[in-house]
Amino acid sequence: MSDLAAPRVTGRTHGLWVAQGAAILILAVLGGVVIGETPLPLATVAAVFANNIWDAGLIVDPIDAGIIWSYRLPRTLLAAACGAGLALSGVVLQALVRNALADPYLLGVSAGAGAGAVAVTILGVGGGLLGISGGAFVGATLAFAVVAMLARAAGGGSAQLVLAGIAGSQLFNALTSFLIAKSANAEQARGIMFWLLGNLSGVRWLDVVLAAPVTAVGFLICLWFARAMDAFSFGVSSAASLGIAVRRVQIMLIGAVTLMTATMVSLVGSIGFVGLVIPHAMRFVVGPRHARLVPASALAGAVFLIVADIASRMLIPGQVVPIGVVTALVGAPGFALILVRNRRWS
């Protein structure tokens, strides 16, 4: 924990960091828009941006224009919002439960989303009003409510929260399997699996409008409680002795995490790895202080998921690999590298 004594970030270097981060993010977004399944010339991309932002009135094939502005840009922005949200959720949960294995789905959110999606698809719950995403969101929040109540009934400690999360996840996963076994045929189950593995292909502007504010609010909450999270790293009693309103901070942070993960999982399915590994990777890079860890993780998560999405469109020509597969495929070796290099430094 020696990094806690790291020199204070001055205003100027702070501004530099923010500018660098923004530049990296914009580059990644541009990459996500330019690189796709079908090759589109850079000039076309530029023309489409000019037309949409400055009303330039350049002549572009309407299909190309639609692909860039209505498919690829929202898809890339959602990947960014989603990656940032999941990474932030990982940071918060790892700090609160003081467990290196904590990931955003620890609280049963992913399992609940799966059960909700299956209930809508197979049982027809909601009578067609909910849709898969709506069902997933309801399921995710319901599962979290069950886990939270169970953790509370068990005494409310962080160990209890982890165990309640495991119990809740198992319960909702079993419910999903039961529903599939009971009433679906193989074809039905396949459609759901396709969705559960994570898929960004159906993303449109509406999804971005839903997800981006959630991530923005989550980010601000995390940043606001950055010092509190530093304190939580030493345990709840230490945090309390430092004058932190433990209960209130916990509720705010866990509320933000639930909202973020439930939104992301219901929009794009459960994408693993990002929330677990990005915070660890960033701890190696910027140290454990949350004032830096929170923005660094948000940025790294956003960029990482954009890159993973680009890879998912390029790995097999003419076919899209589920992004959940890619995040682990690309992320695991990268993380291994960070682990090994870190050993050499220390």
Partner 1 sequence: MYNNTLTAALLGAVCFAPMAQAQTAYPLTIENCGVDVTFDAAPETAVTVGQAGTELMYALGLGDRVAGTSVWFTEVLPEFTELNAGIERLADNDPSFESVVEKRPDVVVVQYEWHIGPQGIVATRDQFADLGIPTFVLPADCWAKDNSTGSDGTRLAMFEMDSIYAGVTQLAQIFDVSEKGAALVADLKAREAAAIEKAAALDLDDASAVFWFSSAEMDIDPYVAGRKGPPGYMMEKLGLRNVVESDEEWPVVSWESIARANPSVIVVAEMDRRRFEADDVEKKLEFLRSDPVTSQMDAVRNDRIVILNAHSMDPSIRNVTALETLAEALPEFDLQ
In sequence order, what are the residues at sequence separation of 6 or more whose Cβ sits closer than 8 angstroms to the Cβ of residue 326? 308, 309, 311, 312, 315
Determine the Cα–Cα distance for residues 139 and 179; give it in Å rounded to an integer: 14
- Residue 53 burial by Cβ neighbours in a 10 Å radius (0-12, 13-18, 19+): exposed
Q: Which is nearer to partner 1, 78 or 143 (CB)?
A: 78
Q: Identify whether the C-beta of residue 338 lies closer than 8 Å to the C-beta of residue 124.
A: no
Q: Which is nearer to partner 1, 59 or 63 (CB)?
A: 63
Q: Identify whether the C-beta of residue 227 lies closer than 8 Å to the C-beta of residue 290.
A: yes
Q: Which is nearer to partner 1, 20 or 183 (CB)?
A: 183
Residue 128 C-beta: closest distance to partner 1, Å: 8
Q: Which is nearer to partner 1, 301 or 324 (CB)?
A: 324
Q: Which is nearer to partner 1, 55 or 187 (CB)?
A: 187
Residue 194 C-beta: closest distance to partner 1, Å: 5
DSSP-assigned letters across all residues of 238-249: HHHHTT--HHHH
Q: Which is nearer to partner 1, 291 or 314 (CB)?
A: 314
Residue 47 identity (one-letter amino acid)? A
Residue 196 C-beta: closest distance to partner 1, Å: 10
Radius of gyration of the chain (CA): 21
Question: Does residue 60 sit in helix, strand or coil?
Answer: coil
Residue 37 C-beta: closest distance to partner 1, Å: 5
Determine the Cα–Cα distance for residues 147 and 98; give it in Å rounded to an integer: 18
Residue 47 C-beta: closest distance to partner 1, Å: 16
Residue 28 C-beta: closest distance to partner 1, Å: 19
Q: Which is nearer to partner 1, 167 or 184 (CB)?
A: 184
Residue 109 C-beta: closest distance to partner 1, Å: 20
Determine the Cα–Cα distance for residues 194 and 180; give it in Å rounded to an integer: 14
Q: Given the rule CB under 8 A, which residues bind partner 1?
A: 36-38, 62-64, 66-67, 69-72, 121, 128, 131-133, 185-188, 190-192, 194-195, 199, 201-204, 313, 318-320
Q: Which is nearer to partner 1, 41 or 333 (CB)?
A: 41
Residue 52 C-beta: closest distance to partner 1, Å: 11
Residue of 333, 297, 306 lying closest to 86 (CA atoms): 297
From first CA to last CA, the distance across the chain in angstroms is: 13
φ and ψ of 261, to 5 deg: -65, -40
Q: Which is nearer to partner 1, 198 or 295 (CB)?
A: 198
Residue of 273, 207, 197 lying closest to 75 (CA atoms): 207
Handedness of CA 152, 153, 158, 163 (dihedral sign): negative
Residue identified by tokens 């076919």 is: 319
Residue 129 C-beta: closest distance to partner 1, Å: 11
* Percentage helix, strand, coil for the chain under 3-state DSSP, each rounded to 5: 80, 0, 20
Residue 49 identity (one-letter amino acid)? F
